[in-house]
Chain A
Amino acid sequence: MALSHVATTSRSQLLKPLTIISSSLRHPISTDTTPITVETSVPFTGHKCEPPSRTVETNPQELLTFFKDMALMRRMEIAADSLYKAKLIRGFCHLYDGQEAVAVGMEAALTKKDCIITAYRDHCIFLGRGGTLLESFAELMGRKDGCSRGKGGSMHFYKKEGGFYGGHGIVGAQVPLGCGLAFAQKYSKDENVTFALYGDGAANQGQLFEALNMAALWDLPAILVCENNHYGMGTAEWRAAKSPAYYKRGDYVPGLKVDGMDALAVKQACKFAKEHALKNGPIVNFSPVDTLETTLVELLEMDTYRYHGHSMSDPGSTYRTRDEISGVRQERDPIERIRKLILAHDLATEKELKDIEKEFRKDVDEAIAAAKESPMPDPSELFTNIYVKDCGLEVYGVDRKEVKTMLP
């Protein structure tokens, strides 16, 4: 693991304002923004593009925010695990622990006006986009106070104000939607970008390449991000894909392979991709020399890992060894990396960090308690939000005999 080199530079480059995801933070975040330079764990690998530098500018405030955000996400996912086993969460529950660095790194590079769309492993990204713990747990438990009023479930978290477009259950279907978001941004001349996330399993879907083709053809400000946790449901990537180098699969589209367990590397890559996508100037097609100019779309591959199985019904150990899981946890855990950085730079003491984690434990417990208090949706909610304005329509229940209602 690369250790940091403390270097103060004369550039006081302030980074973009960071998101605060928990509204009940009691410890003030350190507002120290003295730049710190850190090297990413591994260099970036580029495909048809010059990869960005390994050297990342950060500052104490950012590092502490990373730590807090990731710790909260980790706690939330672990709590969701227990809730599922207690049968309070039903159906499908796909947990993100291990992959938190992707969510926080991306948030650090974006604004709320940029759009993020992902598949069903969406709890932490929802949190990053401004969702609250209560909304999260209430939705998981199917209560009224959930972000989708209890009608979506684990796979359908959305936050319109935060620019989070879900939350989709069908593998790969969110990528064309993501290109649609980018299309709308280009149409409205927004100067914002869309990050469309998908997994290594979805990377073999045809609609992904269709969407990539269209995005590249029309220079849409779309960045496709493959969260490669190396297992598509229960099948390892090398057993499903002829070419597991997902960042190269865009062919003419520039790609970048990133260590997805290093939040700073993720941040650097996302910033790089966003700048690339918004680049103005003449686009030279069919240029044989400088392929970077031929398309604005970028394909990022985040090399990450999930500790849990694919979902709660998957133990996660039938297709991989426990040694592998614990090995990754020891060597590449994203929270540990940031913790070591913080301690190495003396930004906080070990005890302070532990206190933060304890506090988040409490926050999560409180949120769960509040979510449990939240009532189930009203029966009339069965028929709301089917149509906008629910105009004068007749809706039947399953047996067409009993449950019939007239929508207002």
Chain B
Amino acid sequence: MAATIQGIGATAYSVNSDRFQLPSLRSFSESKGRFFALRSEGKVIGGSRGRNVSPLVTNAVAAKGESATASTSAKPGFNVLFLLRHEVLLFEALREGLDEEMMRDPSVCVMGEDVGHYGGSYKVTKGLAEKYGDLRVLDTPIAENSFTGMGIGAAMTGLRPVIEGMNMGFLLLAFNQISNNCGMLHYTSGGQFKIPVVIRGPGGVGRQLGAEHSQRLESYFQSIPGIQMVACSTPYNAKGLMKAAIRCENPVILFEHVLLYNLKERIPDEEYVLSLEEAEMVRPGEHVTILTYSRMRYHVMQAAKTLVNKGYDPEVIDIRSLKPFDLYTIGNSVKKTHRVLIVEECMRTGGIGASLTAAITENFHDYLDAPIVCLSSQDVPTPYAGTLEEWTVVQPAQIVTAVEQLCK
């Protein structure tokens, strides 16, 4: 079993959230006193052929009085090879994950608009068409409904397509295929067919892209039974989640963010796969649990810096798995801090935050000292004007205010 290191508290944040760097390993040895969470992924990596997902948390809901079993066993020993790292940008990390999986399994293929010869509009598939050919990295016409359907049909026979939506918003055209055929086919066929597709693409509010290109599709897709949804936020988890999503037997929707593609980080040279259903502990703390995902993680960490200076100790969790929620990690955190703040980019009505609020209230009501506060984007189409766009999305200052209110 190899242990992976996650969530080392980062020291340096630039105000520009576009470039986010984790400290190099040299500084790691200096921070012995700091608590860090090690999580064993339980996966034999490096040359494994099996498609088994790591042993999953069988009880997703933390029951009362149950001692927290070792999901955070701080084992000091770790694979030395793991220390070898290389620096990548997030889109390169995604590409690495995709490349490794395509090499490992010939049934993995990519389809989408401009993914082949153009190299992908966000360069995620750059170079893959030259390496794997035009059939494995397929340039499709601009017909989301039908090429998503085509990917699903191919998956029914055993292929593992990775379907790219150039922007998540365009996948609204493929909603019928995603909902009915992708999500429900395993059920309505009584288990005869499985649909191991990965549907991925960038979404979220960008820089003045306009209303139609700034959509957060996770709110619309979350009700579809039969799919899993994950959101990546760092190069490390982007590569791990991409690989896990491709290996997963269920349809997975991988939400990337338009503004996070150029994040830089040093990721391990050795192969690793993350768990699709686990949340990531970004910064352990005592006073309040802040749940977030994707780009809002960086706004939260920026606010956390201010909060720490003000004497607060927030615990920041990147939930990563949007469907299903990792209620185990979240529950343990709630039991510790008794206060929850959700920071999301979805709109107020019917977003991931709304579902998460309901889930936490239902399961952990007794542990809460205060009502859950959910900071979401405004229920408006994203305006073009820069200042207006800024006001639709949650900003760090609002997060600081909310925590102060919550911890009164």
Which residues of B lie under 8 Å from residue A374 when comparing CB positions?
Answer: none
For B177, the chain A residues whose CB sits under 8 A away are 173, 176-177
A contact residues vs B (CB 8 Å cutoff): 115, 117, 146-153, 156, 158-160, 165-170, 173, 175-181, 183-188, 206-207, 210-211, 213-214, 217-218, 384-389, 391-394, 400, 406, 408
For chain B, residues 348 to 367, give those with C-beta under 8 angstroms from any C-beta of chain A: 358, 362
Known contacts A213-B141, A391-B277, A392-B56: does B150 contact A148 (CB below 8 Å)?
Answer: no
Contacts A/B (CB < 8 Å), 14 sampled: A149-B191, A150-B190, A159-B192, A167-B188, A173-B181, A176-B150, A177-B156, A177-B181, A181-B154, A213-B143, A386-B187, A389-B53, A389-B249, A406-B60
Given contacts A392-B59, A394-B60, 10 further A-B contacts (CB under 8 A): A117-B153, A148-B188, A158-B192, A173-B176, A176-B147, A184-B159, A207-B146, A386-B226, A392-B57, A394-B324
Is B189 interfacial (CB-CB < 8 Å)?
yes
Report the separation of the CA atoms of residues A156 and B185 in the bound assembly, to the nearest whole angstrom. 9
Kindly supply a per-residue 1/0 record for chain B positions 130-172, scoring 1 wherever the CB is within 8 Å of any chain A CB and 0 otherwise: 0000011010110101111111111111110000000000000
Tell me if A406 and B61 are in contact (CB < 8 A). yes
From B58, B135, B143, give the contact of A187 (CB < 8 A).
Answer: B135
CB distance from B152 to the nearest CB of A (A): 6
A188 CA / B225 CA spacing, docked (Å)? 30
Smallest CB–CB gap between A405 and chain B, Å?
11
7 A-B pairs with the lowest CB-CB distances in the bound complex, closest first: A180-B153, A176-B149, A177-B153, A149-B190, A210-B146, A148-B190, A210-B143
The size bracket of the interface on B is 35 or more
Return A91 CB to nearest CB of chain B, in Å. Answer: 13
| A391 and B154 contact, CB distance less than 8 A | no
Q: Is the CB of A180 within 8 A of B187?
A: no
In the assembled complex, the Cα of A184 lies from the Cα of B156 at a distance in Å of 9
B residues near A186, Cβ cutoff 8 Å: 135
How far in angstroms is the closest Cβ of chain A from B337?
Answer: 22
B117: Cβ under 8 A from any A Cβ: no
Tell me the minimal C-beta distance from A111 to chain B in angstroms: 15
What is the distance, in angstroms, from B356's C-beta to the closest C-beta of chain A? 13
- B228 located at the interface, meaning its Cβ lies under 8 Å from any Cβ of chain A in the complex: yes
Task: Among B138, B153, B194, point to the contact of A165 (Cβ < 8 A).
Answer: B153
- Min Cβ gap B329→A in Å is 13
Query: Which residue of B is nearest A115, CB measured?
Result: B157
Residues of A within 8 A of B226 (CB): 386-387
B191 touches A176 (CB 8 A): no
Bound-state CA distance A115–B158 (Å) is: 13
Say yes or no: A400 contacts B362, CB within 8 Å. Answer: yes
CB atoms of A406 and B189 under 8 A apart? no
Q: Check A184–B186 contact: CB distance below 8 A.
A: no
Residue of A nearest to B109 (CB): A187
Interface string of B339-379 (1 = CB under 8 A from A): 00000000000000000001000100000000000000000
Whether B250 lies near A211 (C-beta < 8 A) is no
Q: Is the CB of A387 within 8 A of B250?
A: yes
* B238 lies within 8 A of chain A by Cβ: no
Cα–Cα distance between A167 and B194 once the two chains are bound (Å): 15
Assess A173 versus B186: contact at CB under 8 Å? Given A391-B56, A394-B324.
Answer: no
Interchain CB contact under 8 A, B154 and A183 = yes
Give complex CA distance A385, B176 in Å. Answer: 20
Chain A residues, CB < 8 A from B362:
400
Tell me how far the C-beta of B137 lies from the nearest C-beta in chain A, rounded to whole angstroms.
12
Picked from A159, A170, A188, the residue with its CB within 8 Å of the CB of B176 is A170
Q: How far is the CB of A257 from chain B (nearest CB, A)?
A: 25
Contact of A214 among B136, B141, B176, B277 (CB under 8 A): B141
Provide the residues of chain B in CB contact with A158, threshold 8 Å.
188-190, 192-193
Find out whether the CB atom of B156 lies under 8 angstroms from the CB atom of A392. Answer: no
**Are B56 and A394 closer than 8 Å at their CB atoms?**
no
Asked whether B191 lies within 8 Å of A392 as measured between CB atoms, the reply is no
A184 to B151, CA, bound (A): 9
- Cα–Cα distance between A141 and B84 once the two chains are bound (Å): 60
Which of chain B's residues have a CB closer than 8 A to the CB of A184? 153-154, 156-159
Q: Would you call B189 and A167 a contact (CB within 8 A)?
A: yes
Min distance, Cβ A358 to any Cβ of chain B, angstroms: 33
In the complex, which residue of chain A has the Cβ closest to the Cβ of B186? A385
Selected from B149, B189, B228, the residue in CB contact (under 8 A) with A156 is: B189
With a CB–CB cut-off of 8 A, which chain B residues contact A394? Answer: 60-61, 324, 327
Point out the residues of chain B lying under 8 angstroms from A146, CB to CB.
Answer: 190
> Shortest distance in angstroms between B222's beta carbon and chain A's nearest beta carbon?
12
Within 8 Å CB of B188, what residues of A?
148, 151-153, 156, 158, 167
CA distance A406 to B327 in the complex (A): 12
Q: A168-B181, A183-B154, A184-B159 are in contact. Are A207 and B187 (CB under 8 A)?
A: no
CA distance A148 to B186 in the complex (A): 10
Q: When chains A and B are docked, how far (Å) is the Cα of A210 from the Cα of B84? A: 47
A contact residues around B250 at 8 Å (CB): 387-388
**Chain B residue contacts of A217, Cβ below 8 A:** 141
In the complex the two chains form, what is the Cα distance from A392 to B136 in whole Å?
33
CA–CA, A186 to B143, complex, Å?
Answer: 20
> With A and B bound together, what is the CA distance between A115 and B196 in angstroms?
19
Q: Give Cα A200 to B53, complex, Å.
A: 45
CB proximity to A under 8 Å, residues B275-333:
277, 324, 327
Bound form: Cα–Cα A14–B185 in Å: 38
Cα distance A117–B186 in the bound complex, in angstroms: 16
Residues of B near A117 (CB, < 8 A) are 153
Residue of A nearest to B135 (CB): A187
**B192 touches which of A148, A169, A178, A206 (Cβ 8 Å):** A148
Cα of A358 to Cα of B171 in the assembled complex, Å: 53
Question: Is the pair A176, B190 in contact by a Cβ cutoff of 8 Å?
Answer: no
B71 lies within 8 A of chain A by Cβ: no
How far is B153's CA from A393's CA once the two chains are assembled, in angstroms? 26
Indicate if the CB atoms of A177 and B190 lie closer than 8 Å. Answer: no
Check B180 for interface membership: any CB of A closer than 8 A: yes
A385: chain B residues at CB < 8 Å are 186-187, 190-191
Q: Closest chain A residue to B324 by CB distance? A: A393
Docked Cα-Cα span, A177 to B226, in Å, equals 18
Residue pair B152, A180 in contact (C-beta under 8 Å): yes
- In the complex, what residues of B have CB within 8 A of residue A218's CB? 135, 138
Q: Give, as a whole number of angstroms, the nearest-CB distance from A168 to chain B.
A: 7
Expressed in whole angstroms, the Cα–Cα distance for A351 and B191 within the complex equals 44
Instruction: Give chain A nearest CB distance to B63 CB in angstroms.
Output: 10
With contacts A391-B53, A391-B56, A393-B60 known, is A147 near B190, CB below 8 A? yes
Q: Which residues of B contact A150 (CB under 8 A)?
A: 190
Rounded to whole angstroms, the CA-CA distance of A159 and B189 in the bound complex is: 8
Pair A214/B150 contact, Cβ less than 8 Å = yes
Asked whether A151 and B181 contact (CB < 8 A) given A176-B145, A179-B146, A400-B362, the answer is no
A180 CB contacts on chain B under 8 angstroms: 149-157
Cβ 8 A contact of B190, one of A115, A152, A214, A389: A152
Q: How far is the CA of A180 from the CA of B138 in the complex (A)?
A: 12
Assuming A151-B190, A160-B193, is B358 touching A400 (CB within 8 A)? Answer: yes
Query: Nearest A residue to B134 by beta-carbon distance?
Result: A218
| CB-contact partner of B153 in A151, A179, A400, under 8 A | A179
